[in-house]
Structure 1
Amino acid sequence: MSGRELTLLGEGGVELLGRIPRGSNAAFLVLVSCGDDSAYAVYKPESGERPLLDFEPGLYRRERAAYLLSEHLGWGIVPPTVIRADAPLGIGSLQWFVDCDVSEHYFTLYADSPATHRVLLQIALFDCIANNTDRKSGHVLRGHDGLVWGIDHGLCFSAGFKLRTVIWDFAGAPIPAALLEDITPLAEAVPPEVAGLLDDAEVTALQRRVQRLLLSGMLPVDRTGMRYPWPLV
Structure 2
Amino acid sequence: MPGRELTLLTEGRVELLARIPRSSNATFLVRVSSGDDSAHAVYKPEAGERPLSDFEPGLYRRERAAYLLSDYLQWGLVPPTVIRDDSPLGIGSLQWFVPCDYRDHYFTLYEESPETHDALFRIALFDFISNNTDRKSGHILRGHDGRVWGIDHGLCFSAGFKLRTVIWDFAGEPIPASLLQDISPLVERVPPGVAQLLDDAEAAALQRRAQRVLRDCVLPLDPTGMRYPWPLV
Please give the range of the TM-score, normalised by the shorter of the 2 chains.
over 0.9
Corresponding residue for residue 114 of structure 2: 114
Please report how far the alpha carbon of residue 188 of structure 1 lies from its aligned counterpart in structure 2 after TM superposition: 1.1
Gaps of 5+ in 1: none
Corresponding residue for residue 92 of structure 2: 92
Tell me the TM-score normalized by structure 2. 0.99
Please report how far the alpha carbon of residue 226 of structure 1 lies from its aligned counterpart in structure 2 after TM superposition: 0.4
Whether 1:61 and 2:61 are equivalent positions in the alignment is yes
Whether 1:198 and 2:198 are equivalent positions in the alignment is yes
CA distance in 2, matches of 1:177, 1:193: 26
Amino acid paired to 1:55: F
Amino acid paired to 2:18: G
CA distance in 2, matches of 1:187, 1:114: 32
CA distance in 2, matches of 1:2, 1:189: 24
Whether 1:166 and 2:200 are equivalent positions in the alignment is no
Q: For this pair of structures, how many residues does the alignment match?
A: 233
Determine if contact 2:2/2:80 at 8 Å carries over to the other structure.
Answer: no
Amino acid paired to 1:62: R
CA distance in 2, matches of 1:225, 1:209: 20
Q: Percent identity?
A: 79
Determine if contact 2:70/2:78 at 8 Å carries over to the other structure.
Answer: yes
- Partner of 2:82, secondary structure, is strand
Amino acid paired to 2:163: L
Tell me the TM-score normalized by structure 1. 0.99
Amino acid paired to 2:40: Y
- Partner of 1:7, secondary structure, is helix
- Partner of 1:171, secondary structure, is coil
Corresponding residue for residue 207 of structure 2: 207
Corresponding residue for residue 20 of structure 1: 20
Matches within 5 A, 1:124-163: 124-163=124-163
CA distance in 2, matches of 1:213, 1:77: 19
Following superposition, which runs of at least 4 residues in structure 1 exceed 6 angstroms of deviation?
none
CA distance in 1, matches of 2:187, 2:145: 34
Gaps of 5+ in 2: none
